[in-house]
Amino acid sequence: MAGRDEVPADPEVRAVPVITDEVADGVARCEDADDGVTECEAVLHGRTFSYLRAGTGGPTVVLLHGLAGDSETWRPVLPLLAEHATVIAPDLLGHGRSAKPRSGDYSVGSYAAGLRDLLVALDLDRATIIGHSFGGGVAMQFAYQFPEATERLVLVASGGLGHEVTPALRAATIPGSVLTLRLITALTPKWVGNLVHRVLRAVPPIAGNDLEEVARAVTSLADHGARSAFVHTARSALDIGGQRLDATEKLYLTEHIPLLLITGDADVCIPAQHSIDAHEQVENSRLSVFEGSGHFPHLDDPERFAGEVAAFLRETVAATDGREHLRAHLVEAG
C-alpha cells in the first residue's frame, strides 16, 4: 500500500483521506489480510503512516515496535489481543511501510507526538500504550507528554530503564556506521540473513526468535531511507557507552498509571534487571519475567503475552485526569 493523494492544508492535526476501494473511518486506506488483521495507511502532515489494526471493541491498545523493527513483530499477538481490545500497531516514522523522510525528526519526543497525531486522526482519545525495546522509551515519553491520553503502560524488554545495551546498537552511533551498514546491506537479503544467523549463533545464549528478528531488521536496512532513519534514531538515544536516555528519573510521574513490565530472563540486548529495578521503583506496578525468553518475549510465547496483557486490562482501572496528577507530582517535586 503506497502513495499519497494530497497534503493537508489545514494546520490542525488531521489525516487526509486516501481515496481507494476501502476506506476506514474516513482517514485511512485499509485492506483485510487473511489472518483477520487489517493493514492500513493514513497520511499525516503529507507523510504516509502505515499501521495494522485488529478488533472492534473494548479498550484501545497501541503496540509500538523497537528500533529497526516494524509492526510485523506484533502479528502473532494481534489476533489474540483483538479478542479483548481494539488494537493499533503502527510503523514508526522511518520504519516498515511508513515514510522515511531524509529531514525527519527521529527523536523520542517526536515519535511520541507522531503517535498522538495518529490517534487524534483516528478519533481515538485514550489508549493503553505497549512499547517494546525502543518502543518502550517512546511509550514512556508519550505518557509524560500526553498523560490525558494514556490509560495504562506496558513496557516489554524496554529501553530507557538503564544504561547497558548490546554493543551492536552502540556501534550504530560511531562515525562511519552509515557507510558500514550500506556496504553490509548491499549484499542480497538472503545472504545478509544467513550471515547474521551465523554470527549470532556464535554468541550464546541467544533465543531463536531473537535470531530471526535481528536478521529481519538488518535486511530491512538495505533501504536507504530505513538505514538513515535507523542511524539518526540510534544516535538520538544511544552513544558508544550505552543508552543516553534515562527515563527512571521520571518514572514517579507515571505512578497514577497502571504499569506492567514484561521481560525475558535470557535477553542479551537489554538486561532483564532493568525491568526488575523499575518494578521495584514503582509502587503497585506488575512484573512478568518470561523464563528462557530473549529480547522478544511476545514472539517466544504469544499466548502467555496476550494473556498477561488481557488480565492487566481486566484487573486494573484506566488512569484518568492525567494532567492533574502530572501537575501534582511536578509541584510536589519542585
pTM for the whole structure = 0.81
- Write the CB contacts of 301 (distance below 8 Å, at least 6 apart in sequence): 290, 293
The answer to whether 101 touches 47, Cβ cutoff 8 Å, is yes
- In order along its 334 residues, the chain shows pLDDT tens digits of 433 333 333 333 333 333 233 434 457 899 988 888 999 999 999 999 999 999 988 999 999 999 889 999 999 999 999 999 999 999 999 999 999 998 888 998 999 999 999 999 999 999 999 999 999 999 999 999 999 999 999 999 998 887 655 545 434 433 444 444 454 455 445 545 555 555 555 455 555 677 778 777 777 777 777 877 877 777 666 545 545 567 778 888 888 899 999 999 998 888 899 999 999 999 999 999 999 999 999 999 999 999 999 999 999 999 987 778 778 878 877 6
- Residues annotated as catalytic (active site), given as ranges: 133, 267, 295
Alpha helices in the chain (DSSP H): 78-81, 108-121, 134-145, 167-170, 177-185, 189-201, 208-220, 224-237, 272-281, 297-300, 302-315, 322-333
For residue 43, the 8-state DSSP code is: E
- Which H or E element spans position 288? strand 286-290
Name the DSSP class of 318: P
Q: Could you list the beta-strand ranges (E) of 27-126.
A: 28-32, 38-44, 47-54, 60-64, 86-90
